[in-house]
Structure 1
Amino acid sequence: MSPVLYDHLAEAIKDPDAIRVRDDLICLRFETMKVYSALGAVRHLLDTGVVSPGDTLIDSSSGIYAHALALACHRYGMKCHIVGSTTVDRTLRIQLEILGATVEQVPSSNNLQLDQNLRVRRINEILRANPSYHWMRQYHDDIHYLGYSAVARLIDELVPTGPLCLVGGVGTGASTGAIAQYLRNSGRDVNLVGVQPFGSVTFGAEKTCDPDMIIAGIGSSIEFQNVRHDLYDRLHWVSFEYAMSAAVDLLRSSGVFAGLSAGAAYLSAMYEHACDSSRRHVFIAADTGNRYAESAFARHAEAFSLDAMRPREISSLEELAVPWSAMSWDRRDASRLADAYAVEEVRS
C-alpha cells in the first residue's frame, strides 16, 4: 500500500483501526471518533454559507468532541471556544489551547445533570454576549450525522456481505445511529445495539443511578434532540464497574487500549454475538483509554472476568437495574418511550 500524505492531522487520525478481537467480532478503534462529525458539520456550514472562515464556533463537551471540534476549526481556519466538563484533563486542555481554542470549565460536580446544565447555561450566556458565535449544538443538530457516511462506507468495505450487528454508545445520536442509518440506506441488513449508562434520560434510565459514575459521552441526564430512537433494535445499560472490567479485558486480550464506552460496547457485543452468531458483530471504540488511566485502568486488579458478568434481560424499564440490563427496543420511536415502562398485563 502506498503511503498517504495528508494536508492536516484531522484527516489522518479520523479513520479507525479495524481489529478482529474474536471470531466474527470486529473492533473499530478510533483515536477520536467525533472528528468525522466535526469535520462534516464544519465543512457543511462553510459550504452553505452559514459561517465564514474566521468565525467562532462554540460548544460544550466532556472531552472527545472538544478535541474533534478544535481540530476541525484548525483545519478550516475557524476560531473555537469550548465549555468543558471536569473530564477535560490538563493534557487535553493544553492541546486545545495550542490548537487555538479557548477553553473554560464549569465548576466541579459529581452530578452529571448539574454539570451538563451548567455547561449549556454558560453557552447561552456567552451567546448573549457574542451573538456572532455559532453554537454547534452537538447534542441537538442533525448536521452531525453527515460525517458518518464515510464510516458506513468503511464498514461496508470491511464486511462486504451478510447481516451485521453494530454495537456502540448512543451518545448524541450522531454516531451509531448515523452509521446504521447510512448502512441501511445502502441496503444492508443491520441490527443496531445502543449502549447507555445508568442515569441517562435518553432511553428512560434517569431513575436508575450508577453508584460509581456515569460514563461520559454515551448518555446524558439532559435530552439529546438528535437521537433517533427508532433506529435501535436493542439497548444495553452498563455500569462503570462492568465497563471498566470489560475495558481491562479488551486491553489484556487484544491489546486495544480504549475508553469506558468501548468496554461497555465490547461487553454488550460479546453477549449479542453469543445470542445471534449468524451476524458479523462490529463494536465501536470511540476514543483511547488515556483519560481513564487513573479513574478506571488503575483499578484493573478489581476487574471482574467476562464470564462473571451477565445482563439482566428486561421487558420493561421498570425492571432496569445496575450493574447491567439489556432490552429489546424493536425500533420504537421517541413517542413510545413511555410505553417501555409498562409491563404487559397478560403476564399474569
Structure 2
Amino acid sequence: MTVSAFSEATEAQLLPRVIRLGPNLYGAAFTLMKLIPARHILRTAADRGEIGPGTLVAETTSGTFGLALAMQTALMRRELVLVSDPVLDANLRRRLADLGTRIVICETPAEVGGYQESRLRALDRVLAEHPDSFCPRQYSNPDNPSSYVIVAEHLTRVLGAVDCVIGPVGSGGSMCGTVRALRSAGFDAHAIGVDTPGSVLFGQADGHRELRGLGNSLMPENLDHRVFDEVHWCTPAETYAATRDLHREHALFQGPTSGAAYQVARWWAAANPDARCVVLLPDEGYRYQETVYDDHWLAGRGVDRPPPLEEPVEVTDPARTIHRWSRFPWGRRSYSEVADPLPATVR
C-alpha cells in the first residue's frame, strides 16, 4: 500500500484546538504536536524515493517525536528503531513497543554533549548497519520547521491576526516554522521562546535539565535565533505549578512543556492587553500522571510549594543562570551577535 493509504489516523490529530484562555490569550492545544513534523518528514521522504518498501527508519529521541514516528511508521508498515537514554519513561516505552518500535538505550553519557552525543553515536551505528535506512533528523532537517506552515494557516483562519506566539523550544522546529510562516503571511508576530536553565540553546552552559522536551545539550541546526524577540527560562518547580494551574483553571490536561509556555504567556498577555497572543501547548498530560499530576511525587522532590511568581527577572546576560523564572530581550539577533562561543551542533 502507499503511504497515503495509512495517513488517516494521524491526520485526524494534526491540528490543535484553539481555546480562549484570557481576554487576549489563546491556547493552541495539541494532542501530539510532533505528529506534524513526523508525518511531513516521512511523507516527503517517501515522495522523494528515500523511503522504500523495506527501508528502516531510525532516529534519536527521548520524547514525543519518537512516539509520533512510531505512530506514523506503524501506519506505513515500516520498521522503526529509536535510540534513547534512561530518561525514557516506562509508560512511553510500553506504548512504543506496542507500536512495534525497537528501542536502543544508551546507558552512559558522552563527556561532551552528554546523552545527546552518545545517542547520536549509537544512531550512526544503527544507520551503518542498515544500508537501506532513513533518518528523519528532526534537529537539522529543514522539513521539520517547514511542516508548521499548516499551524500558522490554521491559527489565522481561526483568529485572524496573530500578534504574538509563545512556545517551548527544543529542536527549534515548531516556533521557528510557525512564526516564519506568520511573518511571511504579513503578520509581524512577536516571538517568545521558552527554555530552561542548563540548556545551551540561548547562551547558557550545558547543565542538568530535569525538564524534558525543553532545551538541549547541543545546538540544533533548525533553531534560527533571528526569529526570537525574547527568551524566557523556566525552572521545574515553576513549570510544574503552571502545568497544574492550566489544568485547574482551564481543564486543559497538558504536559510540562505546555505549563512552561503557559506561565510565560499569561504574564506577557496581561502586560500587553492590545496584542492577540497564542501559546503553543505541545502534548497532553497522560505521560505525566505519575509525576507532574501526582502531589506525592511533587512533595517528594520538594517542588509542591513553589513561590508565587508574578513576573520574571530580566537578565542582561543570557549566559547568567538564575534558578527562577528569567527573561532576556533577544531582539531577533543571531546567536553570535548575542552569545559566544557557539556550542556543539546536533548533526
Q: Verify same fold: TM over 0.5.
A: yes
CA contact (8 A) 2:198 2:321 kept: no
Q: Which runs of 5+ in 2 are unaligned?
A: 1-5, 343-347
Q: Secondary structure at the match of 1:223?
A: coil
CA contact (8 A) 1:32 1:68 kept: yes
- Deviation digits for residues 28-82 of structure 1, max 9, x if unmatched? 1111101000111111111122222331111111120011111222233322111
Q: Aligned-pair distance for 1:335?
A: 2.6
CA contact (8 A) 2:164 2:278 kept: yes
Q: Aligned-pair distance for 1:304?
A: 4.9
Question: Does the alignment pair 1:156 with 2:149?
Answer: no
Which amino acid in structure 2 is aligned with residue 182 of structure 1?
Answer: A
Which amino acid in structure 2 is aligned with residue 335 of structure 1?
Answer: S
Residue in 1 that maps onto 2:189:
190
Q: What is the distance in 1 between the residues matched to 2:9 and 2:319?
A: 46
C-alpha spacing 1:237/1:308, structure 2 compared with 1 (3 Å): closer
Q: Secondary structure at the match of 2:204?
A: coil
Residue in 1 that maps onto 2:345:
none
Residue in 2 that maps onto 1:238:
234
Which amino acid in structure 1 is aligned with residue 28 of structure 2?
Answer: L
Q: Aligned-pair distance for 1:8?
A: 2.8
Residue in 2 that maps onto 1:49:
49
Q: Secondary structure at the match of 2:72?
A: helix
Q: Secondary structure at the match of 1:188?
A: coil
Residue in 1 that maps onto 2:3:
none
Q: What is the distance in 2 between the residues matched to 1:78 and 1:336?
A: 43
Q: What is the distance in 1 between the residues matched to 2:199 and 2:49?
A: 35
Q: Which runs of 5+ in 1 are unaligned?
A: 1-5, 342-348
Residue in 2 that maps onto 1:201:
200
Q: What is the distance in 2 between the residues matched to 1:305 and 1:280?
A: 29
Residue in 2 that maps onto 1:331:
332
Q: What is the distance in 2 between the residues matched to 1:81 and 1:112?
A: 24
CA contact (8 A) 2:165 2:179 kept: yes
Q: What is the distance in 1 between the residues matched to 2:87 and 2:16?
A: 23
C-alpha spacing 1:31/1:112, structure 2 compared with 1 (3 Å): farther
Q: Aligned-pair distance for 1:294?
A: 2.6
Q: CA RMSD of the aligned region, Å?
A: 2.5
Q: How does 1:215-226 map to 2 (within 5 A)?
A: 215-226=211-222
TM-score of the superposed pair, with normalisation by structure 1: 0.88
Q: What is the distance in 2 between the residues matched to 1:306 and 1:156?
A: 37
CA contact (8 A) 1:112 1:221 kept: no
Q: Aligned-pair distance for 1:305?
A: 7.4
Residue in 2 that maps onto 1:132:
132
Which amino acid in structure 1 is aligned with residue 65 of structure 2?
Answer: Y
Q: Secondary structure at the match of 1:32?
A: coil
Q: Secondary structure at the match of 1:317?
A: coil
CA contact (8 A) 2:59 2:83 kept: yes
Residue in 2 that maps onto 1:3:
none
Moved more, 127-136 or 196-205: 127-136
TM-score of the superposed pair, with normalisation by structure 2: 0.88
CA contact (8 A) 2:237 2:306 kept: no
Residue in 1 that maps onto 2:145:
145
Q: What is the distance in 2 between the residues matched to 1:280 and 1:266?
A: 15
Residue in 1 that maps onto 2:269:
273
Question: Does the alignment pair 1:256 with 2:252?
Answer: yes
CA contact (8 A) 1:265 1:283 kept: yes
C-alpha spacing 1:112/1:148, structure 2 compared with 1 (3 Å): farther
Q: What is the distance in 1 between the residues matched to 2:326 and 2:159?
A: 29
CA contact (8 A) 2:166 2:280 kept: yes
Q: Among the aligned pairs, what percent are the same residue? A: 28
Which amino acid in structure 1 is aligned with residue 171 of structure 2?
Answer: T
Q: Secondary structure at the match of 2:328?
A: strand
Q: Aligned-pair distance for 1:315?
A: 2.2
C-alpha spacing 1:84/1:200, structure 2 compared with 1 (3 Å): same
Residue in 1 that maps onto 2:292:
296
C-alpha spacing 1:179/1:53, structure 2 compared with 1 (3 Å): farther
CA contact (8 A) 1:314 1:320 kept: no
Q: What is the distance in 1 between the residues matched to 2:15 and 2:307?
A: 29
Q: Aligned-pair distance for 1:147?
A: 1.9
CA contact (8 A) 1:112 1:220 kept: no
Which amino acid in structure 1 is aligned with residue 330 of structure 2?
Answer: W
CA contact (8 A) 2:238 2:306 kept: no
- Deviation digits for residues 283-335 of structure 1, max 9, x if unmatched? 11111122222332213675457853431111222444111110111110133
Q: What is the distance in 2 between the residues matched to 1:108 and 1:241?
A: 27
C-alpha spacing 1:253/1:124, structure 2 compared with 1 (3 Å): same
